[in-house]
Structure 1
């Protein structure tokens, strides 16, 4: 029986770890999680917020995920969108999900990310 979702992994090109740390840790405010020593030599980096983890793994044949994406729950979505915009990140609002406010943005290597918040009373 499945009891939950442990993590989502996105691909990243070799050498992109500084940009990923700046974006996911600095701009998004996620906490970097240490990789186990047995996996650290593979490169990439892991981030977390609460129980949710996002892993960025190095792929020498990297192609950004332009459709597939993780969806990150946010408290105070409007303020969070302004935070990203202040860092030069373009946000694209979408009203297609009932009872939610949401927008999309791209990380510095071109992976798509969704940010959403359930509306009050929804």
Structure 2
């Protein structure tokens, strides 16, 4: 039985770790966590916030995820949008889901990301689709 989501993995090109750290830790404020020794030699980097982890693995024939994406719950969505815009990242607002404010952006290697803030009440009270 599935009890929760442990992590999401995105791909990244070789030698992109410094840009990924600057973005995910520096701009988004995630905490970098060490990769297990057996995996560290493969490159990439891992981050966490609360119980969720985001893993970035190196892929030599990398192509960014343009449709598939993680949806990241946030507070202070407007401030985050301003921070991303100031850093040169795209911010595309979308109001297609009632009860949620959200926008899409891209990490420094072009992977699509969705940032969501629930407009009213806790997430457990917002209808799921």
TM-score (structure 2 length as normaliser): 0.91
Deviation at 1:77, TM superposition (A): 0.8
Corresponding residue for residue 21 of structure 1: 21
Deviation at 1:79, TM superposition (A): 1.3
2:18 is paired with a residue whose SS is helix
Worse-matched range after superposition: 18-27 or 82-91: 82-91
Distance 2:47 2:5 in 1: 15
What value does the CA root-mean-square deviation take over the aligned residues? Answer: 0.9
| Structure 1 unaligned spans of 5+ | none
Corresponding residue for residue 11 of structure 1: 11
Corresponding residue for residue 102 of structure 1: 102
Deviation at 1:87, TM superposition (A): 1.3
Worse-matched range after superposition: 12-21 or 83-92: 83-92
2:117 is paired with a residue whose SS is strand
Pairwise mapping of residues 31-70 of structure 1 onto structure 2 (< 5 A)? 31-70=31-70
TM-score (structure 1 length as normaliser): 0.96
The number of residues matched between the two structures is 122
Give the 4+ runs in structure 1 shifted more than 2 A. Answer: none
